[in-house]
Amino acid sequence: MERLLDDHDIAVLHEWLSDAGRLALTWFNRVTPQRKADRSPVTEADLAIEQRLVGQLSARFATYGILGEESTERRLDAARVWALDPLDGTAAFIAGLPLWAISLGLLHHGEAHFGMIHVPLLGDTYWGGPAYGAWRGDVPIQVSRSTPWQPDDWMCVPSNMHQSFASTFPGKARALGATATALCYVARGSAVAALIDHVSLWDVAAGFAILAAAGGRIEQLDGRPFALQGPHGRQHVPGTLVVGGAGHLNALRGHITERAP
């Protein structure tokens, strides 16, 4: 697979996301949240980070499109489109929880090509894609392949797990509060799998690229094939997804059932 970004591009993106993380920290525990039209929360930090990163991306990658959670839609018909979540886990950020992240993914003809995810409070940066490998900083990462699952193995779950799903998973379930961070923990082999629902393209574009490079797979919970679509007006990612090592997903389906609405 062709690399669309060179080493200098990647270093610049790392600098930008680290800088955006420092900006986010100036707002941490001091925001005044508001509600968007879809009733999801937004803060001053979301808006300030998106404005800064969109300006930087537009200047360096002038022919690329940009899709941002906070209303940025530029050149979405371009072959290469950035998908930006300036603050993945806004509700966790508002609540003072630590695992929110800044997520930036590059789509090439609608497919996840590259991703970078920065978790400011931990100082962690995950990055990569099928043509780049998967990395936590300068350390390569890969998904867990351990079987059978043990009581201390854990999976990432959505915060509505107790309302929307029934589970007989033999390990532990943890809601991290940020989809991008959950995908990173699966990619690094800390979590054995993740259950994901009600997400948008900017939530997962970066994480899906990193996860694929780490040896992970993304499938629908009901067994139907999954293909990332976007960004042309299809920002919502349909269905409930399971992610993890290829050998884990069929087994995981046997433990998770969606509750009736």
Rounded mean pLDDT, 165-172: 95
One domain for residues 117 and 179: no
Contacts (Cβ under 8 Å, ≥6 apart) of 150: 170, 171
User: Do residues 114 and 193 both lie within one domain?
Assistant: no
pLDDT at residue 234 tops 70: no
Q: Beginning with the edge strand found earlier in the chain, give each strand of the sheet holding 73-74 in spatial order.
A: 73-74, 65-68, 80-88, 101-108, 111-119, 124-129, 133-136, 139-140
pLDDT tens, 62-107? 999 999 998 889 999 999 999 999 999 999 999 999 999 999 999 9
Same domain, 134 and 177: no
Strand partners, 19: none
Q: What would the mean pLDDT of 179-189 be, rounded to a whole number?
A: 98
148 is a domain residue: no
> Hey, what amino acid is at 128?
G
pLDDT value at 2 more than 80: yes
38 and 108 assigned to the same domain: yes
For residues 157 and 261, give the distance between their C-alpha atoms in angstroms, rounded to a whole number.
18
User: Would you say residue 145 lies in a domain?
Assistant: no
Q: Is residue 214 part of a domain?
A: yes
Taking the CA atoms of residue 221, residue 236, residue 106 and residue 102 in that order, the dihedral angle to the nearest 10 degrees is -90
Averaged pLDDT for residues 138-160: 94
Task: Give pLDDT, residue 194.
Answer: 97
Reply yes or no on whether the pLDDT at 117 is more than 70: yes
Q: Is residue 149 part of a domain?
A: no
Name the nearest CA neighbour of 191 among 257, 246, 114, 244: 244
User: Per-residue pLDDT for 227 more than 90?
Assistant: no
Specify whether the CB–CB gap between 255 and 167 falls below 8 A. yes
**pLDDT score at 198:** 87
- Tell if the pTM clears 0.75, that is, is over it: yes
Burial-class residue 47 by CB neighbours within 10 Å (0-12, 13-18, 19+). middle
The values of phi and psi at residue 112, to 5°, are -70, 110
Per the structure, the complete domain to which residue 203 belongs is given by 154-258
| Structure confidence at residue 104 (pLDDT) | 99
Whether the pLDDT of residue 231 is over 70: the answer is no
Determine which helix (DSSP H) or strand (DSSP E) holds 140, and give its type and residue range: strand 139-140
